[in-house]
């Protein structure tokens, strides 16, 4: 089984957007030459592909989370855990531990968004859809708390029409600026901590 992820190169350089659908750079020239009606059919296929991929990533994250919990509870089966670990189990399924942990983080964040939506009576499905339209790096940044909560709230509550508008691109720009500011702040704190401890 191949690792289910987009490489960083594809996220940053090769992916372009048609509507709100990420398209691999290898297909951009082909799509740009199509008539609008033909393009829409391909965009629908790309959209379905992304939805299936996102659903698979979420399901795998939940499976990995369950497996990780099983391996964490050695208990009376500790003899089994000396020969098998979560990492070995993941590798036996053709994935890396890093990929499994990233998918667990994704599943945890989606579950958190749904739980928060229940508490606040928001549209959880819309919030999850908005979250899943973001790049993996943006999703992980949100899950890791590297984005201002106000920016996250605006993104998660955007309407489908808004996702098609320049407003959405502006919010994505705000997300990236927020990420950079928080990462710079954390880096500065680490530098001061290192200087202080020296």
Q: What is the pLDDT of residue 20?
A: 61
Answer whether residue 196 shows pLDDT above 80.
no
Q: What is the pLDDT of residue 75?
A: 56
**Cβ(24)–Cβ(10) under 8 Å?**
yes
What tens digit of pLDDT does each residue of 45-57 get? 888 888 888 889 9
% of the chain with per-residue pLDDT over 90:
21
Percent of the chain residues past pLDDT 70, beyond the cut: 82
Worst-scoring range by mean pLDDT, 18-22, 26-30, 92-96, 103-107? 18-22
Mean pLDDT of all residues in 73-93: 75
Tens-digit pLDDT profile for residues 119-171: 888 888 889 988 988 888 888 888 988 888 888 888 898 888 888 788 888 88
Asked if pLDDT for residue 37 goes beyond 60, the answer is yes
Per-residue confidence (pLDDT) for residue 92, from 0 to 100: 94
Predicted local confidence at residue 171, as pLDDT:
83
Q: 106: Cβ–Cβ under 8 A, 6 or more apart, which residues?
A: 57, 58, 61, 136, 139, 140, 143
Residue 96 pLDDT exceeds 80: yes
The residues, ordered by sequence, that sit 6+ positions from 99 with a Cβ below 8 Å of its Cβ are 3, 4, 5, 90
pTM for this model (two decimals): 0.72
Q: Is the model's pLDDT at 13 over the cut of 50? A: no
Instruction: DSSP for the chain, please give it.
Output: ----S--HHIIIII-EEETTEEE-HHHHHHHHTS-HHHHHHHHHHHHHHHHHHHHHHHHHHHHHHHHHHHHH--GGGHHHHTT--HHHHHHHTT--HHHHHHHHHHHHHHHHHHHHHHHHT--HHHHHHHHHHS-HHHHHHHHTT-S-HHHHHHHHT--HHHHTSHHHHHHHHHHHHHHHHHHHHHHHHHHHHHHHH-
């Amino acid at each position: 089984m191949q690792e289910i992820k987009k490489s960083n190169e594809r996220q940053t350089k090769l992916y372009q957007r048609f509507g709100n659908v990420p398209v691999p750079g290898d297909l951009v020239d082909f799509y740009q030459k199509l008539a609008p009606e033909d393009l829409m059919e391909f965009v629908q296929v790309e959209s379905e592909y992304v939805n299936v991929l996102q659903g698979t990533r979420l399901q795998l994250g939940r499976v990995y989370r369950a497996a990780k919990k099983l391996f964490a509870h050695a208990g009376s089966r500790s003899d089994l855990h000396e020969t098998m670990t979560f990492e070995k189990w993941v590798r036996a399924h053709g994935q890396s531990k890093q990929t499994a942990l990233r998918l667990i983080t994704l599943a945890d964040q989606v579950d958190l968004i749904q739980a928060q939506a229940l508490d606040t009576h928001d549209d959880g499905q819309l919030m999850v859809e908005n979250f899943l339209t973001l790049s993996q790096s943006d999703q992980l940044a949100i899950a890791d708390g590297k984005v201002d909560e106000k920016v996250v709230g605006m993104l998660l509550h955007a309407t489908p029409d808004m996702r098609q508008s320049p407003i959405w691109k502006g919010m994505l720009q705000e997300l990236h600026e927020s990420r950079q500011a928080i990462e710079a702040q954390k880096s500065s704190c680490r530098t001061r901590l290192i200087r202080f401890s020296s």
